[in-house]
Each structure stands twice: as C-alpha cells, then as structure tokens.
Amino acid sequence: MAKLVHTMIRVTDEARSLKFYTQAFGLQVADRLDFEGFTLVYLSNDENTIELELTVNKGQIEPYELGNGYGHIAFVVEDLDAEHARFEAAGFSPRKVVDFNHDGEPLARFFFVQDPEGYEIEVMQRLGRYQ
C-alpha cells in the first residue's frame, strides 16, 4: 500500500499564499525548507494527514500557466453556508453554492474559490463519502 503525503502547487508570492491558506482553511506552516533556488513550505492542520506543499521558485516573477491539466484541491467543512458567508466577508469571492445529485440522491454540496495564484479550490459540505 502507498500513503498519499502531500500535493504541491507552485506559487510566486509566499506571504500572499500563506495568508490565504491560513485565513481560508486554517492551514499553518508545518515545515519550511529553504534552498538556493527555491523554498518548500508544508502546510497542514489538525484535520489533515496530508499536507499542501507550496513551492516558491526564487526569481519567478511571472504568474505560472496553470494549463488545462490542473483540476482542483478539495476541503470539507461542517457548515458550508457559514463558510461561504465567511469567504465572502473575507473578500475571497467564492462562486455560488451548488447542490449536486446522482440518481436523485444528494452526492455533494460545494462551492469553488480561487487562491491568489488562480488555483481552483472546492469547498464541500461534510457528507456521504466526503468526510
């Protein structure tokens, strides 16, 4: 068996990304490794056994091209409506809440938001298979 330990995204502005992920999802720096050409910042919180790795390539000024292969990161929350309102109040510009059904049964309830680099993030109500 293999264990998933982190997912990585490239960011141009470490401070801006840290502020977003801390405010939006309560992630804190678990580790920060500085190298000559880049910095790795590992984020987590008590809810997670997987970390989000931010890679900051020194000297990268232009925004990264996300391309059409990137999907999204997903977080689950207890109260989706409260989180949506909190995101709006914080100025994160979340998209509308979607109720998604499969065969007439609720499958997911979610909204999307973009981080400062343009990465898509799905915020989901904790229910069903999304615990």
Catalytic residues: 122
DSSP E strands in 1-131: the ranges are: 6-10, 28-34, 38-44, 51-57, 73-77, 98-102, 105-114, 120-125
Nearest 5°: the CA angle 89, 99, 122 is: 55
DSSP string, 53-87: EEEEETT--SPP--TTT---EEEEES-HHHHHHHH
